[in-house]
Amino acid sequence: MSDWPEGDWPEGYGRLMLESIDSTLDEARRRAGECAGPTWIFAARQSAARGRRGRAWLQPEGNFSATLLLPAPGAPDRAALRSFVAALALADALEGLGLAPRLKWPNDVLLAGGKLAGILLEGLPGGALAIGIGVNLAAAPDPARLEPGAAAPVALAGHGVRIAPEGFLPLLARAWAAREGQFATYGFAPIRAAWLERAARLGEAIEVRLPRETFSGIFKDVDEGGRLVLSSAEGERRVAAGEVFFSGAEPGGEDASGD
């Protein structure tokens, strides 16, 4: 695949550019023992992409899919916080395009109330970490395939921004390198603060679905461990893993592209 000037790529990060692959996450697993440093694995097309809980992730032509392979992400609790680093890096890249994304716990990026991007973390052999990222650049998948209450998918092209996947990768890679540097130097506190500044529905009622329970509450915070903090009828609840659903339109959900 075509490349770009070295000055556009962050120092210390490798990249693997592929035309087609089953899944960039699977390719990261296959290469977990080969990469000495952090490496981006990009594919123009994926035949077996997946999202959370093994759900299929559709990739229409022109959309973005890549996985960042981190050979040494640190302890498991620290590695899990990379979902916030990744979400912020995506937000930074999109803000650089004149957009105003919002972040949805634990790992979605929204635009005008719709789901624009998803993030999936997977632990790999030897303690490595794979961070899969999919962004609807050109087209949004059919909303009929979503479960009830899920945010309808949106695409950048629908908001007046057109960018090729190969062009989006260096924007994201540079943004990631900056946020990862912040995380390495100062810890989670500044990442958490910046994430909360962009959090969707902070201070509002949301629904949380767990494997054996569904409940509602007011989204109050994200704590120092990345857990969702809610005020519910039963008192304060802290959720380490689950799915969040909104009702109604996203406040301020108009097109924020400036077009």
Residue of 259 and 221 predicted with greater confidence: 221
Fold: same for 6-197 and 205-245: no
Q: In 193-221, which positions are buried (b, 16+ CB within 10 angstroms) versus exposed (e)?
A: ebbeebbbbbeeebbbeeeeeebebebbb
Residue of 151 and 239 predicted with greater confidence: 239
- Say what the pLDDT of residue 144 is: 63
**Encoding tokens for residue 13?**
């990060």
Quote the crossing angle between the two packed helices 82-95 and 188-197, to the nearest 10°: 50
Using one digit for the tens of pLDDT, what is the confidence trace for 204-245?
A: 999 999 999 999 999 999 999 999 999 988 899 999 999 999
- Do residues 32 and 71 make contact, with C-beta atoms less than 8 angstroms apart? yes
- Model confidence at 151, pLDDT cuts 50, 70, 90, reads confident
pLDDT exceeds 70 at position 39: yes
- Model confidence at 124, pLDDT cuts 50, 70, 90, reads very high
Q: What is the mean pLDDT of residues 58-87?
A: 92
Least confident of 9-23, 58-72, 183-197: 58-72
C-alpha to C-alpha distance for 110 and 66, rounded to whole angstroms: 18
Considering the entire predicted model, what is its pTM?
0.89
Q: Where are the domains of the chain?
A: 6-197, 205-245
The continuous run of DSSP H or E covering 62 comes out as none
DSSP letters spanning 91-106: HHHHHTTT---EEETT
- Quickly name the fold that domain 205-245 has: SH3 type barrels. (2.30.30)
Least confident of 85-99, 172-186, 238-252: 238-252
pLDDT exceeds 50 at position 170: yes
- Model confidence at 61, pLDDT cuts 50, 70, 90, reads confident
Q: To which CATH superfamily is domain 6-197 assigned?
A: Bira Bifunctional Protein; Domain 2 (3.30.930.10)
pLDDT exceeds 80 at position 85: yes
pLDDT exceeds 90 at position 72: yes
Residue of 212 and 46 predicted with greater confidence: 212
